[in-house]
Structure 1
């Protein structure tokens, strides 16, 4: 059993695929992750099928698609009682399992198969209102209060957890949530059970807002002129709303500062990961190690005049996914893989690398099976009037907004930034994908399909009756 590889699963929150330097621009400073991508496998067509925090993490931990794990939008009220989870499967196979950072499950202290969780989910209004004492739902806040005083709080920077105003981190970088997750992860590596292989999930809350990177990382982008946000010929029917707590500045100087702060937060994670990598080397744990790096979803970051997530576009549904394989599998490394991949594939992939039987009933497929090819991938999100379903084969993408019936069609080969809607110009392709979506949604309890046709205006729900349990 000791010959099994150790597993490091790194999950970042709200990082879009092209926020990684090797996937985006030379102006983005992610040197350590770029090197990891060059030495490993970089999946250039990885997606979050339901691109928001809870649904994405359910797919990651269960190996199920949204319609099967039950979260088809954001619903923090549902208790998670899945019989089969990634952490539980590895624990049963003899792994010492630990999560540090974000879980975003219900209840907050649900272990979900881990032996132990050192928890920080960020600023969650529902948890702060539900629990009287911070230690009931968070380990970060009680920890920093020992250093910064008993009245210190997560929101002391003065920027909202879903807003795009910027303020650099005002305290020592050691107390930033990103640095804290790294420190607690290194602590686990030093205190783990050395007689067993380990599974460590390192789960960073950033670059999810608040935009509060340490000032030294924000300064990295002072002299950088980022490309203008993507403009499109279809974006008028959608809009981004802010509120007093979470504004979305639209003036170009403040918009650009928000975009730079986002990338500065990614750069901070990149350097913290190298701190973790150094510790792994010092502890002689680097060689027999599987590393998976992934995001739960992206952020539109002013592309198409939109921010945040939950929509079908590449900026928020497209995610980075890197595999760094242990020996003797490293002969597969050093390449880019253009197959469609999604979050539910990570569970069976880790099992195969570790020599653990893949549990029956998973929707995901091992990414080590190079013969596997998806014909298409279905995504969705309950999002009020902008609730949506989408299909892609990596070459085209079809989107249907279920309340209005609005359709979009993109040529991802000729127009990878989704600037031009081709649904009217290519009616035969639009009809092809519409029929594919009819097949995908037939039998769904929301009633999206009737008499072989998509039905507009059906009430979407963020969690199906079996959410939290699996179908």
Structure 2
């Protein structure tokens, strides 16, 4: 018999556009996520986890490389090369069998970026109806689901607020496909090697089209209305005639309820499919769950992502370990973490040294309750922000947050301990002046010397508009 490598397997579960508060374990008033809750409840629940660049491509580049956006070079959904060492590549070089299921959202399509194999699809859309260009579309075709853009034939927009039940059998849903392909990998993997399996679901990213059971379940509930602060309001009443893929948004109550029911239904649907996967995971497996960013869901009259507000930037971050690690599990942690910590954490858990390119930190010392001198804050950025003539920069430690818009010089400051919904902008409150100055100083420290000219003479300086979405070295070579 061949010898077996007894290092832990690693399961990285990931959703897209999943708010940090959208879990049962977070105390959500209606949402039910029993399987995800069991990961955090029986393991570790990080309550102050963030996506530092809360939009798909830069967030996923950060997760894959353990680096800041200013290191990997992209601040928006811009497709370009990525040459840094990756999490799957490093694990593969160290004897792990690495496999991707679902979304990767890196350039060019089908590049493996260190995965040994993949069942790849970045989403349900068929952008060119003359081609079948990903594995999900091939699956539909092979199973008799014909027609142009057949998975999107429900008519809900891939970035908008129109929501409804999925239009064909559950087994053809992208979420079910991800679970099916994950189980097939587990069935066929090499039993003598540890595995790294990354399962990346597309939803609750739009289209918000869960199977009918989940949509109807939440439509039949009283759902919490999105909160809108006075500083954020741009509409005095619901708007008709706005773009379906809008940013600033105020909808008729029934339409907003449909959007929320679709969103929550997608999350519970993903949760149940994750339950299928968890039933087949070997005991010696480290499990992590997170998301690339959140979703504003009507809060402050925004939908979608990109902003520094909690709905957009705060994300789930849950971990559970085999008993062999000897950790005291079932704990909540309030240290501020972000996606650049995923790669060094999972490498640490596997006993693999992180490449020198990594900016993030392993959370393993926190879990082992060692004094690790954890960071004081995280820095985030994104550019551009729709409708604001600016990008955004933010600093937070999870209890307070400073937001700066370099295009205009506008500032916001929130006390998240007393105001988690960010209803009161404290920027002009004298009692917060010392804290505000400290946060400004942190941001100056992060941005000093940047080519965009964010800092001049040691102070933040408005730049008159949005800065580029990528650094010059990352201009795409066609």
Q: Given the two structures, how large is their TM-score scaled by the length of structure 2?
A: 0.91
* Aligned pairs for 1:115-264 within 5 A: 115-122=116-123, 128=127, 133-135=131-133, 138-153=134-149, 154-236=151-233, 244=243, 246=245, 250-264=251-265
- Match of residue 414 from structure 2: 410
User: Relative to 1, partners in 2 of residues 1:183 and 1:242: Cα closer, same or farther, differing over 3 Å?
Assistant: farther
**2:23 is aligned with 1:20:** yes
**2:310 is aligned with 1:314:** yes
Deviations 1:48-101 (A, max 9, x none): 00001001111111010111111122212x12222x110000001101100000
* Aligned pairs for 1:48-447 within 5 A: 48-76=51-79, 78-82=80-84, 84-122=85-123, 128=127, 133-135=131-133, 138-153=134-149, 154-236=151-233, 244=243, 246=245, 250-280=251-281, 285=282, 287-370=283-366, 371-372=371-372, 373-384=374-385, 385-425=389-429, 426-447=432-453
**2:459 is aligned with 1:462:** no
User: Relative to 1, partners in 2 of residues 1:459 and 1:238: Cα closer, same or farther, differing over 3 Å?
Assistant: farther
Q: Please tell me whether the aligned partners of residues 235 and 250 of structure 2 are also in contact (alpha carbons under 8 angstroms).
A: no
User: Relative to 1, partners in 2 of residues 1:412 and 1:249: Cα closer, same or farther, differing over 3 Å?
Assistant: closer
Moved more, 149-158 or 104-113: 149-158
**Distance in 2 between residues matched to 1:223 and 1:102, nearest whole Å:** 31
**2:19 is aligned with 1:11:** no
Instruction: Look up the SS of the partner of 1:323 in the other structure.
Output: strand
Matched residue count: 457
Q: Please tell me whether the aligned partners of residues 379 and 393 of structure 2 are also in contact (alpha carbons under 8 angstroms).
A: yes
**Distance in 2 between residues matched to 1:7 and 1:177, nearest whole Å:** 23
Q: Please tell me whether the aligned partners of residues 408 and 465 of structure 2 are also in contact (alpha carbons under 8 angstroms).
A: no
Moved more, 295-304 or 18-27: 18-27
**Distance in 2 between residues matched to 1:6 and 1:216, nearest whole Å:** 34
Instruction: Look up the SS of the partner of 1:345 in the other structure.
Output: helix
Q: Please tell me whether the aligned partners of residues 344 and 360 of structure 2 are also in contact (alpha carbons under 8 angstroms).
A: yes
**Distance in 1 between residues matched to 2:61 and 2:121, nearest whole Å:** 17
Q: Please tell me whether the aligned partners of residues 219 and 258 of structure 2 are also in contact (alpha carbons under 8 angstroms).
A: no
User: Relative to 1, partners in 2 of residues 1:351 and 1:429: Cα closer, same or farther, differing over 3 Å?
Assistant: same
Instruction: Look up the SS of the partner of 1:59 in the other structure.
Output: helix
Instruction: Look up the SS of the partner of 2:36 in the other structure.
Output: helix
Deviations 1:410-462 (A, max 9, x none): 00111111110000113343333222211211111111111112121254111
**Distance in 2 between residues matched to 1:273 and 1:123, nearest whole Å:** 19
Deviations 1:121-174 (A, max 9, x none): 11568xx35x96223xx1101211222433152321101100111121011100
Moved more, 373-382 or 115-124: 115-124
Instruction: Look up the SS of the partner of 1:399 in the other structure.
Output: strand
Deviations 1:258-278 (A, max 9, x none): 111101000000100111112
**Distance in 2 between residues matched to 1:410 and 1:237, nearest whole Å:** 20
Instruction: Look up the SS of the partner of 2:437 in the other structure.
Output: helix
